Amino acid sequence: MSALPEPSDAELLAATAAGDRAAFEALYRRHQPWLAVRLRYRCPDAALVDDAVQETFLAIWRGTARYREGGDVAGWLWQIGFRRLVDAIRGQRARDRLLGLLAGRRWSSAPSAEEELLLGVEHGDLAGALARLSPELRAVMQATVLDGLSTHEAAALLGIPVGTVKTRAMRARRQLREHLA
């Protein structure tokens, strides 16, 4: 008697969209651990990371995050999680400022370099420069720089050869330097 094959991520997402709680739980168990670890590399506050992970999966369950067939589910989840983390950091900074003002203190706590990077990627000049890259170059930069994947990991995630990852990364860096100069 052979075991039933594990459903694919796309199948789990489709079942989740149809309201299948067991499929959602399987998707959560499959992806929550790595997503939490990757986000913790970006933010030292475990509570903010946990909130971002929960908000990511809530968006999927509620149907506010839409998956496009044929795309990489892990990459899609990372994008949602990353944006939720940026939002959580912004919210925490606003709460800290408000509490400081209520206590009669002026806001003087500078954000960490990590927080500045997260916010800069979303809204700074870097965001515009990244947006001007072709989707292929942007995907390589997302995987290798923002997600911190090795060249081999990025190649596996994107479904392209390692040499192609290296070439696209080189071209993307050159174009980013031109855009930011």
Handedness of CA 35, 41, 42, 48 (dihedral sign): positive
Lowest mean pLDDT among 62-76, 94-108, 138-152: 94-108
Which is more confidently placed, 48 or 149? Answer: 48
Confidence label for 101 from pLDDT (cuts 50, 70 and 90): low
Written as one string, the DSSP assignment of 141-156 is HIIIIIS---HHHHHH
- The full length of the chain comes to 181
Confidence label for 113 from pLDDT (cuts 50, 70 and 90): very low
Last residue of a domain, one of 66, 81, 109: 109
Encode pLDDT of 17-44 as tens digits: 889 999 999 999 999 999 999 888 888 8
Cβ neighbours for 10, distance < 8 A, ≥ 6 positions apart: 67, 69, 73
- Considering the domain architecture, whether residues 101 and 130 belong to the same structural domain is answered as no
The CATH number for 57's domain is: 1.10.1740.10
- Cα 33 → chain centroid: 14
> Look-up: residue for tokens 């479904």?
159
* Closest-CA residue to 27 (of 69, 75, 77, 88): 77
Write out the two tokens for 169. Answer: 């990364």
Which is more confidently placed, 1 or 125? Answer: 125
How many beta carbons lie within 10 A of that of residue 69, not counting itself?
7
Q: Given this model, what pLDDT does residue 171 score?
A: 93
CB 45 within 8 A of CB 86: no
Domain count along the chain: 2
- Considering the domain architecture, whether residues 99 and 136 belong to the same structural domain is answered as no
Average of per-residue pLDDT across 160-173: 92
Residue 151: domain span? 124-181
Lowest mean pLDDT among 43-52, 90-99, 160-169: 90-99
The CATH number for 159's domain is: 1.10.10.10
- Considering the domain architecture, whether residues 48 and 134 belong to the same structural domain is answered as no
- Considering the domain architecture, whether residues 29 and 75 belong to the same structural domain is answered as yes
